[in-house]
Structure 1
Amino acid sequence: MSQTPAIPTNPLVTGSEIARIAGVTRAAVSNWRRRYGDFPAPVGGGVNSPLFDLAEVQAWLDKQRKGQDVTDEVHLWQVLRGAYGDDILEGLADVARALTGPDGERPTALPEQAVGLARRLAEERSPAVVVNDLAERFRESVRRAGSDQVTSPRVVRAVRHFAGDAADDAVLFDPACGI
């Protein structure tokens, strides 16, 4: 009788995301995996792109006192991953709504801590830059994890070809495409 592996309940992160969280390079994360026997074991992904349990990684970083000085952007990402898990796109949409909606109004699932961090970042930059930076972080994380949520450049070119000419300010929506 074979046992099926347990499905992880916490958000999963790539080595690249761990590096961002800790404020180090990806090479440093690779070194930690080799050097520290208590570094969290991968819980998913493949040999070339392992995925780690975010809660285990954060606990290990805290125990090792690594990544104590993180930027507001990294802290915001951590809060969103903790609140939304694998549904991070909903979190990004909620941040966009919180930054562009009426003052004081926020999506109910968005933690107050995330609202504060996002607004502080938006004051330094702009709401559009904050959302674009978060979207880019998402694209990078899923691309490295081999996710199907990122549309390949070849498919994007094909859709653009068949969509034809559109005004520069037009918004096109394809519900069958990834990000």
Structure 2
Amino acid sequence: MAQTPAAPTNPLVTGSEIARIAGVTRAAVSNWRRRYDDFPAPAGGGANSPLYDLAEVRAWLETQRKGQDVTDEVQLWQELRGAYGDDILRGLGDVLQTLATPEERKQAALPDAVIHLARRMAQEGSLSDVAQGLAERFTESVRRTGSDQVSSPRLVRAVQQCVGDVPDDAVLFDPACGIGTLLLAVGAD
């Protein structure tokens, strides 16, 4: 009987996330994959969108002396990917709910590292900055993977042209809203 490989236990990261961690461009990561035989092998994803074991990537970057200090934003994203996996959108919602809730009230069941990083980021900037940063990172990540959780800019522009001005009291319905890109673009400000 054939054995199925065990699911990875560490968070998986994309080439773009490796580039952020190392402080280089995505092209540099692509070059490393081709030039270095010891670059970590993909641990998931597909041929066009491979995912790498974060611990292996960090170890490789350290060995090659190619890494730099990881920002709070990158650490937060990595912690969320590790805790939520494919349900990252729920993780983003839990972070924002936790930040918007007074500390003494019950919080979403987030790992302590996530709460600590998110609160520190909100204190250094604002809740809005954290929300915007996470939304942008999510949007970029799902566009790379071809997910349908974010409406493409082209589709948003086309719908805006067809819809025109929307009254402030209008009710909008988008059955595939994902994070609401289309609704936000078409709806009242």
Q: Does 1:174 align with 2:179?
A: no
> What percentage of aligned pairs have identical amino acids?
67
- Alignment partner of 1:46 is 2:21: no
CA contact (8 A) 2:15 2:50 kept: yes
Unaligned runs of 5+ in 2: 180-189
CA RMSD of aligned residues (A): 3.0
Instruction: State TM-score, norm by structure 1.
Output: 0.79
| 1:51 counterpart SS class | strand
Cα deviation for residue 34 of structure 1 reads 2.0
Superimposed CA distance per residue, residues 112-147 of structure 1 (whole angstroms, 9 cap, x where no aligned partner): 111111111111211011011011011111211222
One-letter identity of the residue aligned with 1:136: E
Map of 1:17 onto structure 2: 17
Cα distance change of structure 1 residues 27 and 154 upon mapping to structure 2, 3 Å threshold: closer
TM superposition shift of 1:154: 4.1
1:175 Cα deviation from its structure 2 partner: 4.1
Name the structure, 1 or 2, with higher relative contact order (CA <8 Å, separation 6+): 1
Range with greater deviation from structure 2 (136-145 or 28-37): 28-37
Greater Rg over alpha carbons, structure? 2
Letter in 2 for 1:35: R
Partner of 2:186: none
Q: One-letter code of the match for 1:45?
A: G
In the TM superposition, what is the alpha-carbon distance from 1:150 to its structure 2 partner?
A: 2.0
Residue by residue over 1:129-179, the C-alpha shift from the partner in whole angstroms, topping out at 9 and shown as x without a partner, is 101101101111121122222222344346554596132x98856342233
- Residue by residue over 1:46-72, the C-alpha shift from the partner in whole angstroms, topping out at 9 and shown as x without a partner, is 33x333333433343344454341111
Q: Which runs of 5+ in 1 are unaligned?
A: none
Structure 1 partner of 2:95: 95
How far, CA to CA, are the matches of 2:116 and 2:73 in structure 1? 11
Asked if residue 130 in structure 1 is aligned to residue 127 in structure 2, the reply is no
